[in-house]
Amino acid sequence: MSSCALNAELPVASPEDLATICASVRSGATPAAVRVEAFLARIAQHDGVIHAFNEVHADAARARARAIDKMVASGRDPGSLAGCVIAMKDNIVMREGHTTCSSKMLANYRSPFDATAVEMLYEAGAIVIGKTNLDEFAMGSSTENSAFGATRNPWDSSRVPGGSSGGSAAAVAAGFCDAALGSDTGGSIRQPAALCGCVGFKPTYGRISRYGLVAFGSSLDQIGPFATTVRNAALVYDAIVGSDARDSTSADAPCEPLAPLVDRPLASLRIGVPREYRSEANSPAVAQVLERAISAARAIGAEIIDIELPLTDIGISTYYVIAPAEASSNLARYDGIRYGHRAKLSPGDDLEDLYSKSRAEGFGPEVQRRIMLGTYVLSSGYYDAYYKRALQARRLIKEEFDRAFASCDVVLGPTSPVAAFPFGGKTDPLSMYLCDVYTVNTNIAGIPGISINGGFADEAGTRLPVGLQLQAPAFAEETLLRAARMLEIALA
Ligand code: GLN
């Protein structure tokens, strides 16, 4: 893929305050319809190159904007996200349009219902502008595994946007929407946010209903927002958080609105920096941004504590047993009969052929690899050696975080060991999996994590955004977001 100087042509989204924008729509000063038109024009102009969207829902977005403006005109309040324009990862189901998971398997699939997160966004007055590209079934770290072509990074179109929610991250970074939703099983919100220079927030497992999120690794999957600032991410999070009777794993924990709180600095902040996160494997750009952030945190009075998380190392092997095991079971439903692509049969073919041909044609190579890996680690004779051991490792990783949080409020490190890499830069699966070294353990432990833009640095002669990750104990979203906001302001 050739590079074009989008940096000059495509100013990235400005960190406008979403609460202020929505207040303006609620007061009638800014029509939602005008906002939608501006985003549609920008998408029409630039998404041919970026390919953040699988599908743009122009008519539906316009109709929704008109309905919101009518509500305002008649004196009703559309809600906290009135006129907020959202891009939706294409593995979150909506009645509108298709839900493809960027897979041939679901290329023509239409959902008969909206995901709970989508319903809640509508109730808050938000407008969904389209479905964003991803690595097929959310498996990957570059969006190159999409069956419909890769998404390009708005900062340098010769580079990947990260993945699997690369389309959502690129859409926010390119200013195609106010915010986006993604899903994060092992880093798929935080890593693309880091590579595209925006904020990506994965809440505690169970905080946001998974009802209507196409399942990948059900014990790890979590929906979360992308936005241009921590404040804006908090506003979107507030609209979709909460327990849901339709997702038995959704948490019944208190969830007061956090957007009004994020600007309150914490009176004291202890930031743990694991020795393992200052690894030799980090690129020079990443290492430089991390050290700069540590100095900035010290300068605002945070206490920096050197900690150790020695199990960081086993995260990848643990994740790449558990996630494929769960995926192999979740993806069994795509059999050419109940859902998705059905192969044409030849005379003499039987039911077994229907299954195997449909699955071989419908799933791409990475998805097939994960299904085989997952089936293998769950098969009798190997179950104890792989799956059971991975569950034991999971427990140890969780306990290690518990110990770390006894001495600090949040853990800081890079989101990804490298900034955005060129297309085709990681062809063997293991080198791609290693992109997730800092993000998978968050999901394994079920704790919340956020990636913010730590600044820009030169990587191989190109100026690229570098993400910083903060992690906090389960359900400590308030601490996490307030600390992230403090760091965001300190680095601005
Ligand atoms: N990159 C990781 C994977 O390929 C994480 C994906 C995700 O979080 N959905 O599995």
The answer to whether residue 301 scores a pLDDT higher than 50 is yes
158 is catalytic: no
Could you tell me the two tokens for 488? Answer: 């965001």
Report the pLDDT value the prediction gives residue 13, as an integer from 0 to 100. Answer: 59
For the chain, give the percent of residues with pLDDT over 70: 97
Q: How far apart are CA 266 and CA 264, in angstroms?
A: 6
Which amino acid, residue 149? G
Could you tell me the two tokens for 160? Answer: 């990947």
340 to 101, 280, 343, 359: CA distances (angstroms)? 11, 44, 10, 9
- Our answer on whether the CB atom of 316 is closer than 6 Å to any ligand 1 atom is no
Range scoring the smallest mean pLDDT among 126-140, 394-408, 431-445, 453-467: 453-467
The answer to whether residue 217 scores a pLDDT higher than 90 is yes
- Our answer on whether the CB atom of 140 is closer than 6 Å to any ligand 1 atom is yes
From the list 80, 142, 157, 164, the catalytic residue is 164
Could you tell me the two tokens for 418? Answer: 């490298």
Average pLDDT value for residue range 325-348: 95
157 is catalytic: no
310 exposed, middle or buried (CB, 10 Å; 0-12, 13-18, 19+)?
A: exposed
The model's confidence at residue 14, banded by pLDDT at 50, 70 and 90, is low
Q: At what angle do helices 284-299 and 477-491 cross, to 10 degrees?
A: 100
- Our answer on whether the CB atom of 326 is closer than 6 Å to any ligand 1 atom is no
- Our answer on whether the CB atom of 323 is closer than 6 Å to any ligand 1 atom is yes
Ligand 1 pocket check: which of 145, 164, 216 to mutate, most ligand atoms within 8 Å of Cβ?
164
Helical (H) or strand (E) element with 320: helix 315-330
Q: How far apart are CA 185 and CA 206, in angstroms?
A: 12
Helical (H) or strand (E) element with 35: helix 32-50
Closest ligand 1 atom number to CA of residue 165: 9
The domains of the chain, with CATH numbers, are 18-266+452-463+473-491 (3.90.1300.10)
- Our answer on whether the CB atom of 139 is closer than 6 Å to any ligand 1 atom is yes
Which amino acid, residue 491? L
Residue 217: closest CA among 134, 365, 322, 146: 322
- Our answer on whether the CB atom of 188 is closer than 6 Å to any ligand 1 atom is yes
188 is catalytic: yes
Edge-to-edge strand list for the sheet holding 462-471? 53-56, 127-132, 85-89, 179-184, 222-227, 199-202, 449-459, 462-471, 410-414, 270-274, 303-307
Q: What is the pLDDT of residues 161-206, one digit of tens each?
A: 999 999 999 999 999 999 999 999 999 999 999 999 999 999 999 9
Contacting residues for 10 by C-beta, under 8 A, at least 6 apart: 46, 154, 174, 175
Residues facing residue 127 across a β-bridge: 85
Q: For CA atoms 168, 174, 175, 176, give the dihedral sign.
A: negative
Report the pLDDT value the prediction gives residue 10, as an integer from 0 to 100. Answer: 55
From the list 188, 209, 250, 451, the catalytic residue is 188
Ligand 1 pocket check: which of 141, 416, 426 to mutate, most ligand atoms within 8 Å of Cβ?
141
Query: Ligand 1 centroid vs 234 CA: distance in angstroms?
Result: 23
Helix, strand and coil percent figures for the chain, each rounded to 5: 40, 15, 40
How far does Cα 246 stand from its chain's mean position?
A: 22
Contacting residues for 59 by C-beta, under 8 A, at least 6 apart: none
Residues facing residue 106 across a β-bridge: none
Q: What is the pLDDT of residues 97-109, one digit of tens each?
A: 999 999 999 999 9
The answer to whether residue 402 scores a pLDDT higher than 80 is yes
The answer to whether residue 74 scores a pLDDT higher than 60 is yes
Ligand 1 pocket check: which of 132, 160, 188, 367 to mutate, most ligand atoms within 8 Å of Cβ?
188
Q: How far apart are CA 410 and CA 106, in angstroms?
A: 40
pTM greater than the 0.85 cutoff: yes
Q: What is the pLDDT of residues 234-279, one digit of tens each?
A: 999 999 999 999 999 999 998 999 999 999 999 999 999 999 999 9
Question: Coil, helix or strand for 54?
Answer: strand
- Our answer on whether the CB atom of 102 is closer than 6 Å to any ligand 1 atom is no
